[in-house]
Amino acid sequence: MFLRRRHTQTDDSEQRDAKVSELKTAIGPQSGRSSKYCTDACLRRYLEARNWNVDKSKKMLEETLKWRSAYKPEEIRWHEVAHEGETGKVSRANFHDRHGRTVLIMRPGMQNTTSAENNIRHLVYLLENAIMNLSEGQEQMSWLIDFTGFSLNTNISVRTARDIIYILQSHYPERLAIAFLYNPPRIFEAFYKAVKYFLDPKTAQKVKFVYPKNKDSVELMKSYFDVENLPSEFGGKASLKYDHEEFSRLMAQDDVKTAKFWGIDEKPYHIGNGYSVAEVAPEPTPIAQAAS
């Protein structure tokens, strides 16, 4: 039985490798940034998202390449979206989950602007940044969503939520490992029912409602995070303090890595206190994988 199971796993792996090769042939030779984007790992994620159907995966990937060519997410720089991040409504955590995945912290109660377009651009920037900071061999990230201060006044519209979900599901397939919605109020639960309609069933399964007084919720959080690193807002022992100036400095440094990875020539830009990116950025370190 053990040998049969091992053979089956080997066969599955070989079949999937063959699918990757088939998809690579189907999309044809790529050039420039598209060739950097279309790594084998990237093709696998698109195949996974479409249940290993090559034709459907090809269509999905081609739509992404078209979107990336027009939207140019790899060209967004922190100084363009920094005003959206002043309150820390979305930021990259300074810790990882137990699987070594990058963690994005979202605090919808800290919403500070009304432009749907700018909110989406800010989120796309941070998604690209989170991907660029994934550990070698790691493809996915975790989300922690803190509802402190959340109200109808801070909530984004269903239409904006739909647009965000479309971008995430269509152009960042298999990037989300799990999303924890921590202690959401009743008004959000009603909002989520409307939004869930747009979620792919596979994505919906990754969304977890967790509550601090629920034993199963507490255990679930502990299984994914070390409580010593986890902020108290999520039931941990660490403190979450968002320092916009410090975060801006970190993002400016990461912008240099991003530009180098994608082969973009850039002029230094001012980030405050008389420094330019070129003056504060350390020597870029090798990137483990493409921001695909």
Mean pLDDT across 61-88: 97
Distance separating alpha carbons of residues 55 and 202, to the nearest angstrom: 19
Amino acid 108: pLDDT: 92
Asked whether the whole model's pTM tops 0.85, one would answer yes
Q: What is the pLDDT of residue 267?
A: 66
Q: What is the CA radius of gyration of the chain?
A: 20
> Span 76-262: which CATH code?
3.40.525.10
Measure the CA–CA gap between 69 and 75, rounded to whole angstroms.
10
pLDDT at 288: 37
Whether pLDDT at 11 is above 90: no
Report domain extents, the chain: 16-71, 76-262
The answer to whether the beta carbons of residues 173 and 45 sit under 8 Å apart is yes
Please check whether the domain covering 16-71 is classified as CATH 1.25.40: no
Copy the structure tokens of residue 251: 């993002």
Residue 117 scores a pLDDT above 50: yes
- The first and second tokens of residue 35, run together, are 């060739």
Domains 16-71 and 76-262 alike in fold: no
pLDDT beyond 80 at 269: no
- Work out the percent of the chain whose per-residue pLDDT is above 70: 87
Range scoring the smallest mean pLDDT among 117-126, 140-149, 169-178, 257-266: 257-266
Number of residues that make up the chain: 292
For the chain, percent helix, then strand, then coil, each to nearest 5? 55, 10, 35
